[in-house]
Amino acid sequence: MAALTLRSSMLLLLLPPSNSSPISHRSPSPASCCIHTTQLRSQLPSKSGHIHRLVLSNPGRTKLNPSSDRSFYAFPRLVKHVDEGFLDNLTSLYRERIPPDAEILDLMSSWVSHLPPEVKYKRVVGHGLNAIELSRNPRLDYFFVKDLNEEQKLELADCSFDAVLCTVSVQYLEQPERVFSEIYRVLRPGGVCIVSFSNRMFYEKAIAAWRDGSAYSRTQLVVQYFLAVSGFTQPEVVKKLPAADLQIPESNSLISWLLRLLPSAGGDPFYAAIAYRNYKPT
């Protein structure tokens, strides 16, 4: 794939250490969790899952190529969008965070879900924009096609997944607050959402806030998408930089700026933002 690798001119700052403590990875049954939530809603003025503020300005949501995403993704791309080092980090994270009997939603998916091959999950549902790609994905039990920039509502039941994944795709969402609210809705309490990304993108299809940002600001953007929706835990950030990137001094000097424009000899940097649906209504 001719995905454009963007080495940002901005500084790569060290992310603050995670201050969240994930709650139990185990989930109650869908029935019990939904009854519980409904009961609580009738008793308490719960705002769980509501968008309480917008993260992006209108200009921040714009794309250089405003044509329909469906036509952009009409041709199947049966390629890997990031390198093996990135994918190894991602699969290890999934192994660590997703229980083996989980029901998983792979949002903005393609022909590969990067799940650990040795783990059998209860159900994996895929979503994307290209049916040929999704039909080739051996991990999916079911898939559906939907343009999330046209409509964000997912035709999926409340509290029906233990994990929602979004791999190297969050930069294409024009209404991320609404999509994250839907992610919250379909997650069971205690369920995890893992959003991973690198510095590659289809530049013309990434929103301005992402395109014009740095590694640090993009990570913070995803953190803010979670925080915009009531009821997620404080997001954790996982960052794994290839050795060559680590050697670039984190300063504002011209040499650092120039080095960051060069393709990385060390491979694709790995970033993930992780949050859980809280048990407690907010």
Ligand X SMILES: C[S@@+](CC[C@H](N)C(=O)[O-])C[C@H]1O[C@@H](n2cnc3c(N)ncnc32)[C@H](O)[C@@H]1O
Q: Which is nearer to ligand X, 69 or 103 (CB)?
A: 69
Among 27, 37, 89, 109, binds ligand X (CB under 6 A): 109
Give the shortest CB-75-to-ligand X separation in angstroms.
11
Asked whether the beta carbons of 246 and 237 are under 8 A apart, the reply is: no
**Lookup result for tokens 């969050």:** 170
What is the gyration radius of the CA atoms in the chain, in angstroms?
18
Q: Which is nearer to ligand X, 27 or 63 (CB)?
A: 63
Q: Which is nearer to ligand X, 73 or 232 (CB)?
A: 73
Q: How many chain residues interact with ligand X (CB under 6 A)?
A: 17
Restricting to residues 52-91, name those near ligand X by CB under 6 A. Answer: 69, 73, 81
Q: Does 108 bind ligand X (CB under 6 A)?
A: yes
Supply the DSSP symbol for 60: G
Give me the helix-helix angle, 176-186 and 215-227, nearest 10°: 50
Contact region with ligand X (CB under 6 A), list: 51-59, 92-100, 106-114, 214-222: 106-114
Q: How far is CA 114 from the centre of its chain?
A: 13
The token pair that represents 73 in the structure block: 């993704």
The token pair that represents 9 in the structure block: 């001119």
Among 48, 149, 198, 278, binds ligand X (CB under 6 A): 149
Q: Which is nearer to ligand X, 161 or 172 (CB)?
A: 172
Contact region with ligand X (CB under 6 A), list: 5-13, 91-99, 123-131, 136-144: 123-131
Contact region with ligand X (CB under 6 A), list: 35-43, 56-64, 167-175, 226-234: 167-175
Give the shortest CB-173-to-ligand X separation in angstroms.
7
Q: Does 233 bind ligand X (CB under 6 A)?
A: no
Neighbours of 2 (CB within 10 A): 6
Rounded CA separation 43/264 (Å)? 54
- Residue 182 buriedness (CB in 10 A; 0-12 / 13-18 / 19+): buried
Neighbours of 104 (CB within 10 A): 25
Give the shortest CB-168-to-ligand X separation in angstroms.
5
**193 membership: H or E segment, kind and range:** strand 187-197
In 3D space, the residue among 19, 53, 99 whose CA is nearest the CA of residue 224 turns out to be 53
Contact region with ligand X (CB under 6 A), list: 49-57, 109-117, 234-242, 244-252: 109-117
Contact region with ligand X (CB under 6 A), list: 50-58, 115-123, 142-150, 153-161: 142-150
Supply the DSSP symbol for 172: G
Give the shortest CB-257-to-ligand X separation in angstroms.
27
Binding site for ligand X (CB under 6 A): 69, 73, 81, 108-110, 112, 128-130, 147-149, 167-169, 172
